[in-house]
Structure 1
Amino acid sequence: MKAVVITSPGGPEVLQLQEVEEPAFRDDEVLIKVEASALNRADTVQRKGFYPPPKGASPYPGLECSGTVVAVGKSVSRWSVGDQVCALLTGGGYAEMVAVPAGQVLPIPEGVSLRDAASVPEVACTVWSTVFMMSRLSPGETFLVHGGSSGIGTFAIQIAKHLGIRVFVTAGSEEKLVACKNLGADVCINYKLEDFVARVKEETGGKGVDVILDNIGGPYLQRNLESLSMDGRLFIIGFMGGAVAEVNLSCLLSRRLTVQSAGLRNRSIENKAQIVSEVEKHVWPAIAAGKVKPIVYKSFPLSEAAEAHRLMESSSHIGKILLIP
C-alpha cells in the first residue's frame, strides 16, 4: 500500500508518499481501507520529531480516518467486512489501509458523508473526554475555547451550544470570529486586538467562566486562571505557545480552581474504547439531529500531505483539513 512516511524530523517537505507493507492486524482489530484521514496539530509535532508514536503503534502520522472494513480479527463481533466506519487511531491514518482496535471504531454518523466523517473522531473524543467527562461542563455553565476556528474549536462550540452552555471563543481574525459566531459562539474575542481576560470579566459580571479549553499553554496559563470563576476548571490540551510558565498560585486556593491536562494518543486501549463509547452515546445523536456538523475546510490528495501541513501551520484555515488516498 501507499503511506505518507516521515523521512526525517523536519518541515513539511520530509513527508513523502512511499510504498510500504500493509499493516498486520490482531484478533481484536479491524483493517480499514481508508476513504479519508484528517490532520491534527499532533501530526505536525510528530513530523518535527517531538511526538513519537507510542510503542507498537504505526510509524505513519494520522490520528483519525473514515473508510470501509476489509477484514476483521477473530475476536471482533460488532464489525463486519463491508461496514462503513470512522475511527480514532494511534497513528497510521495517512495511508491506504490502517489497523484499528475494534473499540476505537464508530459507525458513520447519520447525515454525514463517508469522507467528511474522517474529520470527527479525534475532535469529538478530545473535547468530550476533556471538557465533559473530566471537567464536567454542564448545562447553564460558561465555557471558553481558545482557537475557536480550529477543528477542536468548531466542534466544541457546536456541542456546547447544543447542551445549553454559553460559549466564549478567541480567534485571530474577523473572518474566523464570524465563522465562530455562525456556529453559535456567544462571545467572540479577537485576541490580537483585545485582552480576553478583561472581556471575559466584562461579559460575566466579573465572575469569569466555568471551564476553559486551552491549546496555547505557558503564555496563557496565568491569564486563563484569572479568567476562571469560583470552582473553575482549566483543561490544557496543547502547548502551541510554549510549555513553560511562571504563575501566581494564590488564585487557585482562593477560588478553588482545578488545572488538568491530558492527551488522547497515549491512553490505554481500554480507556480509548470507553471514550469512544461515550462519544457514540452522547455526540452521535447530536450529529444525527443536525446540531453538530463537520466543518471541512479543504481536502488534499495523500501525495500532497506536505501542502496540507503547510496550510495547517499557517493557521489560515477554519475547521478541518482532509487527506484523500
Structure 2
Amino acid sequence: MHAITIPEPGGPEALVWSEVADPVPAEGEVLVDVVASAVNRADVLQRQGHYDPPPGAAPYPGLECAGRISAVGPGVSGWAVGDEVCALLGGGGYAEKVAVPTGQLLPVPEGLELADAAGLPEVVCTVWSNVFMIAHLRPGETLLIHGGASGIGTAATQLAKSAGARIAVTAGGADKLTRCKELGADILINYREQDFVEEIKAATDGKGADVILDIIGAKYLSRNVDALAVNGRIAVIGMQGGVKGELNLGALLAKRGAITATSLRARPAAEKAAIVAAVREHVWPLVASGDLRPVIDQRLAMRDAAEAHRALDAGSHVGKILLVA
C-alpha cells in the first residue's frame, strides 16, 4: 500500500507519499481500506518530530479515518467485511489501509457521506470526553470554546447546543465568527480585537464561564481562571500557546474551580473504547438526526498531505481539512 511517511522531521515538505508494507489485523482488530482521513494539530507535531505515536500504533500520521472493512482479525465479532466505518486511531490514518481495534470503530450513520465521516472521530471523542465526561457541562451553563472555528470548536458548539448550553467562542476574524454563529454560538469574541475575559464577564452579568474548553494552554492559563465562574471547570486539550504558565492558586481556590488536562492519543485501548462507546450512545443519534455534522473546509488528495498541512498552518480554515485516498 501507500502511506504518508516522515523520513525526517520538518515542515510540510517532510511528508512523503511512499510505498510501505500492508498492515495485518491482530487479535481483536479489523483492516480498513481508507477512503479518507482528516488533519489534526497532533499530525503537525508528529511531522515536526515532537509527538511520536504510542507503542503499537502505525508510524504514519492520522488520528482518524473513514472507510470499509476489508478483513477481520481473530476474535472479532459484530463487524464484517464491507461494513462502512469511521475510526479513532493512534496513528496510520494517512494511508490506504489501517488496522483498527474494534473498540475504536464506529458505524457510519445513514445519510452521512463516507468520506465526511473521517472528520468526526477525533473531535467528537475529544469533546465528549472532556466537556461532558470530565467537565460535566449541564443545560443552561455557559461553555467558552477557544478556537471556535476549528474542527474541535465546530463540533463542541454543535454538541453543547444540543445539550442546552449557552456557547461563547473565540475566533480570529468576522468571517469565522459568522460561521460559529451559524452553528449555534451565542457569544462571539474576536480574540484579535477583544479581551475574552471582559467579553465573557459582560455577557454573563459578571458570572463568567462554567466550562472552558482550551486549546491554547499556558498563554491563556491565568486569564482562563479570571474568566471562570464559581464552581467552574477548565478543560485543557492543547498547548498552542506554550506548556508552562503561572497559576494563581488563590484565584482558583476562591472560585472553587477545577483544571484538567488530557490527551486522547496515548490513552490505553480500554479507555479509548469506553469513550468511543459513550460517543456511539450519546453523540451518534445526533449525527443520525442531522443535529451534528462535520464541518468540512476542503478536501485534498492524501498524496497532497503537505498542501493540507500548509493550509492548517495558515489558519484560515473553518472546521476540518480532509485527505481523500
Cα deviation, residue 109, structure 1? 2.1
Q: Is the counterpart of residue 139 in structure 1 residue 139 in structure 2? A: yes
Distance 1:229 1:289 in 2: 33
Aligned position for 1:292: 292
Distance 1:185 1:163 in 2: 13
Distance 2:46 2:74 in 1: 32
Distance 2:256 2:14 in 1: 46
Deviations along 1:48-92, whole A, 9 cap, x unmatched? 011011111111000000000000112110110010000000000
Aligned position for 1:7: 7
Paired AA for residue 200 in structure 2 = V
Paired AA for residue 212 in structure 1 = I
Aligned position for 1:187: 187
> Which secondary structure state, in structure 2, belongs to the residue aligned with residue 298 of structure 1?
strand
Cα deviation, residue 285, structure 1? 0.6
Paired AA for residue 213 in structure 2 = L
Q: Is the counterpart of residue 74 in structure 1 residue 74 in structure 2? A: yes
Cα deviation, residue 7, structure 1? 1.3
Aligned position for 2:24: 24
Aligned position for 1:158: 158
> Which secondary structure state, in structure 2, belongs to the residue aligned with residue 71 of structure 1?
strand
Choose 285-294 or 41-50, whichever is displaced more. 285-294
Matched-pair contact (CA < 8 Å) for 1:111–1:287:
no
Cα deviation, residue 111, structure 1? 2.0
Aligned position for 1:264: 264
> Which secondary structure state, in structure 1, belongs to the residue aligned with residue 222 of structure 2?
helix
Aligned position for 1:88: 88
Matched-pair contact (CA < 8 Å) for 1:35–1:68:
yes
Aligned position for 2:249: 249
Distance 1:165 1:282 in 2: 16
Aligned position for 2:105: 105
> Which secondary structure state, in structure 1, belongs to the residue aligned with residue 18 of structure 2?
strand
Paired AA for residue 216 in structure 2 = I
Paired AA for residue 18 in structure 1 = S
Cα deviation, residue 247, structure 1? 2.5
Matched-pair contact (CA < 8 Å) for 1:25–1:73:
yes
Deviations along 1:116-172, whole A, 9 cap, x unmatched? 000000001000001100111111111000000000000000010011000000000
Paired AA for residue 46 in structure 2 = Q
Matched-pair contact (CA < 8 Å) for 1:225–1:251:
yes
Matched-pair contact (CA < 8 Å) for 1:128–1:279:
yes
Paired AA for residue 27 in structure 2 = D
Aligned position for 1:65: 65
Paired AA for residue 225 in structure 2 = L
Distance 1:288 1:56 in 2: 32
Paired AA for residue 111 in structure 1 = G
TM-score (norm 1): 0.99
Distance 2:56 2:105 in 1: 18
Cα deviation, residue 183, structure 1? 0.4
Aligned position for 1:277: 277
Cα deviation, residue 275, structure 1? 0.3
Distance 1:110 1:62 in 2: 24
Distance 2:210 2:110 in 1: 32
> Which secondary structure state, in structure 1, belongs to the residue aligned with residue 66 of structure 2?
strand
Cα deviation, residue 244, structure 1? 1.2
Percent identity for Structure 1 against Structure 2: 55
> Which secondary structure state, in structure 2, belongs to the residue aligned with residue 149 of structure 1?
coil
Deviations along 1:26-63, whole A, 9 cap, x unmatched? 11000000000001000000100110111111110000
> Which secondary structure state, in structure 2, belongs to the residue aligned with residue 167 of structure 1?
strand
> What residue ranges of structure 2 are gaps of 5+ in the alignment?
none
> Which secondary structure state, in structure 1, belongs to the residue aligned with residue 306 of structure 2?
helix
Matched-pair contact (CA < 8 Å) for 1:209–1:229:
yes
Choose 83-92 or 284-293, whichever is displaced more. 284-293
Deviations along 1:283-303, whole A, 9 cap, x unmatched? 011111111111001011111
Cα deviation, residue 263, structure 1? 0.3
Distance 2:163 2:195 in 1: 27
Aligned position for 2:178: 178
Cα deviation, residue 197, structure 1? 0.1
Distance 1:110 1:227 in 2: 40
Cα deviation, residue 243, structure 1? 0.8
Aligned position for 1:226: 226
Aligned position for 1:114: 114
Aligned residues: 325
Cα deviation, residue 110, structure 1? 2.8
> Which secondary structure state, in structure 1, belongs to the residue aligned with residue 188 of structure 2?
strand
